[in-house]
Structure 1
Amino acid sequence: MNNRLLELLEQQGSEHYISGEQLSQALQVSRTAIWKQIKKLEAAGYRIEASRRLGYRLIDRPSKLTALELGAKLGEKGVAMIGGIRLFDEVDSTQNIAQRLAEEGAPEGTLVIAEQQTNGRGRMGRKWVSPSGKGIWMSFILRPGMPIHFAPQLTLLTAVALCRALRAAAAPLDIGIKWPNDLLVGGRKISGILLETTAEEERLRYVIAGIGISVNLTEDDYPPELLDIATSLRIQLGRELDRAEIVASFFAQFQQLYAVYQREGFAPIQTIWEALSVTLHKPTRLIVGGKATTGTPIGLNDQGALLVRMDDGAVVPLFSAEQVPPQG
């Protein structure tokens, strides 16, 4: 029924309404059923205006990413690392798709992008708001062939590449990195990174790098409880951005930094990460192993751990912890 409903709305054009009664008669369903289908179209990224007196009109359609467009943008920026693009309208999680492809032998640089995720996830099993046609929900395969203890450095490298790409695309927004994997603007989250590894004999078989970027979401796309902690580039800038351009810009940055990392090690990445961090040298609460503590992050060590000066003056390296807002 959704396809037929969409046809009827499109026939009216963006300037004209069609009443709920007309839609009900044409589709031979109740007006309640029409309303439910309208909500499904809105969830898929269609903008539909409803008027009690006039009915419904289709204002805008979701802009879909295409392999042709992405390939052209990647080519313009000289990105050679992509080993194939897999586009989906809807998946549970791009991480799951990429992992299956990696197990089947897909090469490094295989990219999975979905218009919508029904069960997108972040660190610690958290769900990620990822409506259709409004963000960048993607995962790609890396096969670095290095010892497993280097994995945290790849997360930090990915954050640096993404931060630099978004700063360029969304100037003048002051976008920064919150350790270990979030990007913030004005203290609110716009992007998250999740790297999941599979190792064999203490060496990485492959890494799935998942990235979610809230690009063109509006405030209506967020549950009320998230509005104080999450935002989008569109909300902050007041305009929509080209998603394909952002994807290409990220991979141009990642390709460059990955080459530097493989050639020179972690030190150059560490320096850039520390310059882009928005949480260093600020007292913070940390959840470590389920227990809360306080300290001041002061930088990274050579392995990519966060160095935290605790209240007793001791400097402790942390590979896994959660920074949370101070109480009170």
Structure 2
Amino acid sequence: MESTRNKLIELLAANQDYYISGQVLSEKLNISRNAIWKHMKELKKDGYIVEAKSKKGYQITGFPDKISENTIQWGLNTKWAGKTIIHKETTPSTQIVAHQAANEGAEHGTIIIADEQTKGKGRMEREWHSAKNKGIWLSLILRPAILPYLAPQLTLLTATVLADVIYKHTKTAPLIKWPNDIMLNHKKTTGILTEMQAEQDQIQYIVIGIGMNVNQQTNELPEDLQAIATSLHIETNKSWSIQTLIQDILQTFEDSYDAFIETGFSEVKRKWEHYGFKMGEYISIKTLREKWGGIFSGIAEDGALIIKTSDGKTKKLYSGEIEWFGEGENDVKQIRSETNERKQ
């Protein structure tokens, strides 16, 4: 159910160029004028500049640059994504909070956002450096009516959403490095962590964690990461509104998710392969038993990499250590030559 605060924000946003009287707000929200006044005080705490004039009412004339439930809700036009927001100034990990909220019944589309994480994590329990007010540290709770084996498709979908948003705002050239990294200039700027609670044939919930480096300068990244990590600010020499980026991520995600549920994976696959890092190029792969390589030729519906080997066979890769930046030009030429011979 939509909260009174959300409805108030929608009313103020719809009348942004005008004063709206306390009486009108009271009638539309079915609360007292004193309650309206208390809500306005909370908006001021978030940094909004609220003008109140006798016989005219209230008008928002200034907006904060920090994130909060109110600032994300302001101007957010989604149907379900981000309609419930849990904001933490600091937390060990938004993933932890999201799992707790999901187990307590948090609705589909609930998001957890934090100014900073003290123990942010990526895949394989790796640490994710999450500096205060420098990036997007967000987890999204989903309750999709899909079978558990299709859950990896939502990681791939999320990656396309983030790549779309980064390109839209920065006009840089983001690439998706399988399975969950967004790269700019061969450096990681964004990571995705998908975790699921499910039974054999039913998903109870999925939590998708997003960590995006936005406004860090190079010297603000840990020294051991400066050669492999970057931020939107580093790549564009410009600061970005974290609030605006979050809103666009939520809107774009909702549109893409709804289309995916209605029409399936084909559009996600097409878009992912458009952004795919090293698509059509040779990559080396090391698993527990062997080391091999081939041309990265796409992704399968179950999220696996599709690799074309030198003997013309196609293999699926679900896990393994990939040498993304290794040498393999001779193998590339051999595979392409054999492919061309078969075509002739």
Distance 1:162 1:100 in 2: 25
Task: Please tell me whether the aligned partners of residues 73 and 82 of structure 2 are also in contact (alpha carbons under 8 angstroms).
Answer: no
Give the Å deviation of 1:147: 1.2
Q: Tell me which residue corresponds to 1:236.
A: 235
DSSP 3-state at the match of 2:280: coil
Give the Å deviation of 1:148: 1.1
**Equivalent residues in 2 for 1:24-173 (5 A)?**
64-75=66-77, 78-171=78-171, 173=172
**Equivalent residues in 2 for 1:197-216 (5 A)?**
197-216=196-215
DSSP 3-state at the match of 2:71: helix
Q: Deviations over 1:1-21 (max 9, x none)?
A: xxxxxxxxxxxxxxxxxxxxx
Q: Deviations over 1:246-287 (max 9, x none)?
A: 111111111111111111111111111111112211111224
Give the Å deviation of 1:217: 0.8
Distance 2:134 2:289 in 1: 34
Distance 2:116 2:264 in 1: 36
Distance 2:164 2:124 in 1: 25
The one-letter code of the counterpart of 1:158 is: T
DSSP 3-state at the match of 1:109: coil
DSSP 3-state at the match of 1:81: coil
The one-letter code of the counterpart of 1:297 is: F
The one-letter code of the counterpart of 2:202 is: R
| Structure 1: unaligned runs, 5 residues or longer | 1-61
Q: Deviations over 1:67-109 (max 9, x none)?
A: 211101423xx45332410111111111111011111111111
Q: Which has the larger radius of gyration?
A: 2
Give the Å deviation of 1:320: 2.8
The one-letter code of the counterpart of 1:229 is: I
Distance 1:79 1:310 in 2: 45
Give the Å deviation of 1:308: 0.9
The one-letter code of the counterpart of 2:320 is: A
Give the Å deviation of 1:223: 2.0
DSSP 3-state at the match of 1:198: strand
Report how many residues are paired. 264
DSSP 3-state at the match of 1:195: strand
Closer/same/farther in 2, CA of residues 223 and 199 from structure 1, 3 Å limit: same
Task: Please tell me whether the aligned partners of residues 81 and 251 of structure 2 are also in contact (alpha carbons under 8 angstroms).
Answer: no
Give the Å deviation of 1:290: 7.7
Distance 1:142 1:243 in 2: 22
Instruction: Please tell me whether residue 256 in structure 1 is matched to residue 252 in structure 2.
Output: no
The one-letter code of the counterpart of 1:166 is: I
TM-score (norm 1): 0.76
Give the RMSD, CA atoms, in angstroms. Answer: 1.8
Distance 2:90 2:244 in 1: 21
The one-letter code of the counterpart of 2:199 is: E
Q: Deviations over 1:227-259 (max 9, x none)?
A: 111000001111100001111111111111111
DSSP 3-state at the match of 2:74: helix
Distance 1:314 1:175 in 2: 30
Task: Please tell me whether the aligned partners of residues 83 and 107 of structure 1 are also in contact (alpha carbons under 8 angstroms).
Answer: no
Distance 1:63 1:321 in 2: 42
Give the Å deviation of 1:122: 0.6
Instruction: Please tell me whether residue 303 in structure 1 is matched to residue 305 in structure 2.
Output: no
Worse-matched range after superposition: 150-159 or 305-314: 305-314
Distance 1:223 1:306 in 2: 31
TM-score (norm 2): 0.73
Task: Please tell me whether the aligned partners of residues 93 and 117 of structure 2 are also in contact (alpha carbons under 8 angstroms).
Answer: yes
Distance 1:326 1:176 in 2: 14
Task: Please tell me whether the aligned partners of residues 65 and 241 of structure 2 are also in contact (alpha carbons under 8 angstroms).
Answer: no
Give the Å deviation of 1:324: 3.0
Task: Please tell me whether the aligned partners of residues 286 and 292 of structure 1 are also in contact (alpha carbons under 8 angstroms).
Answer: yes
The one-letter code of the counterpart of 1:64 is: K
| Structure 2: unaligned runs, 5 residues or longer | 1-63, 328-344
Distance 2:68 2:228 in 1: 31
Task: Please tell me whether the aligned partners of residues 148 and 200 of structure 2 are also in contact (alpha carbons under 8 angstroms).
Answer: no
Give the Å deviation of 1:322: 4.1
DSSP 3-state at the match of 2:67: coil
DSSP 3-state at the match of 1:299: strand
